[in-house]
Amino acid sequence: MAPRPHFLVLTFPLQGHIAPALRLARHLLAAAPDALVTFSTAAPAHRRMFEEVQNGGGGGGDGDGDGDGDDGRLELLPFSDGTESGHVSGGDVAEFNGYMASFHAEGRRSVGELVDALAARGRPVSRVVYTLLLPWAADVARERGVPSALYWIQPVAVLAIYYHYFHGHAGVVDEHRRDQSFVVELPGLPTLAVGDLPSFITDAADPSDYFHGVFTTFRDLFDTLDRETPKATVLVNTCQEFEETTLAAVGAYDVLTIGPVLPSGDEAGLFKQDDAKYMEWLDSQPDDSVVYVSFGSLAFMAREQLDELLHGLEESGRPYLCVLRKDNKVKLADVEMDAAALRNGMVVEWCDQVRVLSHAAVGCFVTHCGWNSVLESIACGVPMVGVPQMSDQRMNAILVEHDWRVGVRAEVDGGRGVLRAAELRRRVKEVMGEGEAAAKVRRTAAGWKRAVAEALGKGGSSDRNLTAFVEGARSDI
Ligand code: UDP
């Protein structure tokens, strides 16, 4: 039998990393009928996502929760991060640094063993594909003569910012780190303010910052990419049409835009979904009428913010669906406006966001601008109100508002970082209202939805790039 391309897809155990990695795993399988994929994340997250299916006697399958069967071509195998329960948020800097140190040391050892074990049982890995926070994955692969590719799950513009920061521009950024409006010029990028840059290189460069361990991990990542010869391969979850002009800023790498990598059916995740009542509720709402609100899988909502949000939504008079995660410390019952006062909307702990955004009733997405959320919204043609907070979200919000013109950015209250009710109402009106400007945003969003469909369709830019990547792996065997 001819050798088959086998991709080992590795990811950091966060929902915003796991989702695009699992989706890519499926797309790799679809791109070549003989391809094999092993999907691997840290053991605690693996247990949380797949254990129920495996132990629940759900009838075999691959345990990825989609129940579609893939002829055994997808394997789900955890690696160790040296802990029993993974990273538990709420600790201090030392605790977080300790987790990252354990993740890197144990992860590296454990993934090395995994690659060796797969080879020993006749399923050798032909490409290691890894998401952002596992720089050692490239070293593990290189040590074994296996090519690797970084899977960059943020826009090319953000890849370019990190690249240039770590290649000659750290000094100027560090010097003006506290001056949000200080202007920086980075090659191939529009003029940016320090406040637009990822918080992991502005705030987290400071060793006392909680996320300093993320900063040093990014530094290690760009170091390991420099060790690849002749050039590192970087798959980016974006499409060429989104970021045509920025691609030249990352010419040091072989960049393949392959996104937006969307789910191809139900998928496993770290959070349990509410029952599907919200879909029935959406069915009962008029087209383009519902405001959907979610700040992703990591951000917590303070009581003040939740109060403002719910008041603003109620006062807008528009129906709304709002995600308030179970792990949020402030519960719905704690807010000034309790469940009984919610006349016009619905609050869920977790939903199937892509299904929600695909629903005809949804007319706007109030989002923290996590890159997955932005991609999903654009792919579904839903205009956004951006409320960026940290990491790459500020740059993503600029792309949404200025480059693609598929949304607007809401201002937060300077001192406290809270989105006020009146500002929320005003911004929602700017994308859902009657005026010509709002209609234009909606038309532009519909246009990008078509462009995404083309990029992903047969012969489209992302489809061609993914096929080239898979075939490259085959020709090396
Ligand atoms: N998501 C979801 N249900 C929810 C809220 C979020 O499925 O109720 C998913 C969303 O579709 C996206 C991911 O969680 O794929 C969030 O990733 P993103 O990059 O937007 O933000 P992060 O969680 O990393 O901050």
**pLDDT at residue 295, as a whole number:** 97
- Report how far residue 452's alpha carbon sits from residue 93's, in angstroms, rounded to the nearest whole number: 40
CA dihedral over 396, 153, 445, 282, signed as positive or negative = negative
Q: SS3 sequence, the chain?
A: CCCCCEEEEEECCCHHHHHHHHHHHHHHHHHCCCCEEEEEEEHHHHHHHHHHHHHCCCCCCCCCCCCCCCCCCEEECCECCCCCCCCCCCCCHHHHHHHHHHHHHHHHHHHHHHHHHHHHCCCCCCEEEECCCCCHHHHHHHHCCCCEEEEECCCHHHHHHHHHHHHHHHHHHHHCCCCCCCEECCCCCCCEEHHHCCCCCCHHHCCCCCCHHHHHHHHHHHHHHHCCCCCCEEEECCCHHHCCCCHHHHCCCEEEECCCCCCCCCCCCCCCCCCCHHHHHHHCCCCCCEEEEECCCCCCCCHHHHHHHHHHHHHHCCCEEEECCCCCCCCHHHCCCCHHHCCCEEEECCCCHHHHHHCCCEEEEEECCCHHHHHHHHHCCCCEEECCCCCCHHHHHHHHHHHCCCEEECCCECCCCECCHHHHHHHHHHHHCCCHHHHHHHHHHHHHHHHHHHHHCCCCHHHHHHHHHHHHHHHCC
Q: For ligand 1, is residue 238 a contact (CB within 6 Å)?
A: no
Domain boundaries, the chain: 6-158+199-265+458-475, 277-454
CA of 19 to the centre of ligand 1 (A): 8
Q: For ligand 1, is residue 307 a contact (CB within 6 Å)?
A: no
83: amino acid identity, one letter: T
Q: For ligand 1, is residue 279 a contact (CB within 6 Å)?
A: no
CA of 7 to the centre of ligand 1 (A): 25
Taking the chain (477 residues) in runs of 10, the rounded mean pLDDT of each run is 88 97 97 96 96 47 51 94 85 91 98 98 96 98 97 98 98 95 97 97 95 97 97 98 96 98 90 89 98 96 93 95 93 76 89 97 98 98 97 98 98 89 98 97 98 98 98 86
Q: For ligand 1, is residue 296 a contact (CB within 6 Å)?
A: yes
**pLDDT at residue 60, as a whole number:** 35
Residues 124, 21, 92, CA angle at the centre, nearest 5°? Answer: 110
Quick check: bond before 260 cis, omega within 30? yes
Active-site position among 17, 27, 311, 368 = 17
**pLDDT at residue 377, as a whole number:** 98
User: 6-158+199-265+458-475 with 277-454: one CATH topology?
Assistant: yes
- Fold (CATH) for 6-158+199-265+458-475: Rossmann fold (3.40.50)
CA of 373 to the centre of ligand 1 (A): 6
CA of 468 to the centre of ligand 1 (A): 29
CB distance 267 to 42 below 8 Å: no
Q: Which of 11, 353, 390 is the pocket-test mutation for ligand 1 (most atoms within 8 Å of CB)?
A: 353
CATH number of 277-454: 3.40.50.2000
**pLDDT at residue 475, as a whole number:** 85
**pLDDT at residue 59, as a whole number:** 32
Q: For ligand 1, is residue 294 a contact (CB within 6 Å)?
A: yes
Q: Which of 11, 12, 15, 301 is the pocket-test mutation for ligand 1 (most atoms within 8 Å of CB)?
A: 15
Q: For ligand 1, is residue 15 a contact (CB within 6 Å)?
A: yes
**pLDDT at residue 294, as a whole number:** 98
